[in-house]
Structure 1
Amino acid sequence: MDMYIRVKRKMTTYFIRCKPSDKILDVKQKLEELVDQPANNQQLILHGTGEVLEDAKTLADQKVENDAVVALALRKDDNEFEEVNIVRPSEFYPAREGDAANW
């Protein structure tokens, strides 16, 4: 059964089609062309729990469900991964009167 996950980094969201049996490394390889970074320079973190997803495990093993939000961090020059920074719509769209945050 196919599923998708939302991979977020800063102000960008990638919708990745996958299967629960796909390994995290498979997901990173799908992201390689999109982010122009090899899989070993990517770190995926399950949003909400903050758990770093392990390459050798499957999405099902790590309880990543359909429509899950996963944060993407890239390796910096100092070999460390960048801080997770996901921008919410309210941070880059000015609030309009009457909207009452109906996103």
Structure 2
Amino acid sequence: MAMYIRVKRSKTTYFIQCDPTETTLDIKQKLHTLIDQPVNDQRLILMSNGDILEDSKTLADQKVENDAVVALTLRKDDNEFEDVNIVKPNDFYQSRDTDSGNW
């Protein structure tokens, strides 16, 4: 059963067609062809709960559902990952790390 997820970074949204049985790594491979960033330099975060998606787990295992919004962060030069940087459309939910109402 095919589904779509929305992978967002900054002002860009990638619509990725995928299957609930695919793993996070499969999604990163698809992104790799789009953004030319190695899979190990990508981190995907499910925005509905703030969880970092694990490469070896399937989307279904991690409660990634059709039309889920997933943030993409990339590894920086100092080997840390950048913060989630998504320009807020109206349907965007704040991640739980930020305090409320500072938009």
State the TM-score, normalizing by the size of structure 1.
0.85
Who is 1:87 aligned against? 87
Structure 1 segments, 4+ long, off by >3 Å, are: none
SS state of the match for residue 44, structure 2?
strand
Unmatched tracts of structure 1, length 5 or more: 91-103
1:78 corresponding residue in structure 2: 78
Structure 2 portions without partners, runs of 5+ = 91-103
Instruction: Tell me how large the CA RMSD over aligned residues is.
Output: 1.0
Instruction: Note the C-alpha offset of 1:48.
Output: 2.4
Cα shift at 1:36: 1.2
Q: Residue 28 of structure 1 corresponds to which residue in structure 2?
A: 28
TM-score, structure 2 as length reference: 0.85
Deviations, residues 38-80 of structure 1 (Å, cap 9, x unaligned)? 1000000000211000000000000000000000000000000
Select between 31-40 and 13-22 the one with higher mean Cα deviation: 31-40
- SS for the counterpart of 1:26 is helix
Structure 1 counterpart of 2:73, one-letter code: A
Structure 1 counterpart SS, 2:33: helix
Identity over aligned pairs, percent: 71
1:46 maps to which residue? 46
Query: How far has the Cα of 1:89 moved from its partner?
Result: 4.0
DSSP-derived class of the 1:15 partner:
strand
Q: How many residues are aligned here?
A: 90
Q: Look up the equivalent residue of 2:51 and give its one-letter code.
A: E
